[in-house]
Amino acid sequence: VQLVESGGGLVQAGGSLRLSCADSGSTVSNNAMAWYRQAPGEQRHWVAAITVDGGFTNYADSVKGRFTISRDNAKNTIYLQMNSLKFEDTAVYYCNALPAYDTWGQGTRVTVSS
């Protein structure tokens, strides 16, 4: 499992970011996938999930209506479009299978200024 997250950064509240997760192996194409996040002092938890074929998605209540998960199996990549960002979205974001494998990438940091 080798997943590389990118696209994070510093953004003002109300702004948008698009995260990407590239896979050098076959994890993305063979698994339901999810985006997880870990805020300072908190445990990591999932925020968005997508089935292998992309036909079904699910979101944590905290991001529903603002975030959109998608995937491109041909590119072994999943995405997270984040709109209307809030201060409480500040976290390190990770991608992994759902359920998650033990190995995690380095994540990408999202900082939302209020």
Q: Are 65 and 33 in contact (CB under 8 A)?
A: no
What digits encode the pLDDT tens for the residues 99-111?
A: 999 999 999 999 9
Cis amide bond preceding 99, omega within 30 = yes
Beta bridge partners, 97, equal 33
What digits encode the pLDDT tens for the residues 54-92?
A: 999 999 999 999 999 999 999 999 999 999 999 999 999
Q: Are 85 and 59 in contact (CB under 8 A)?
A: no
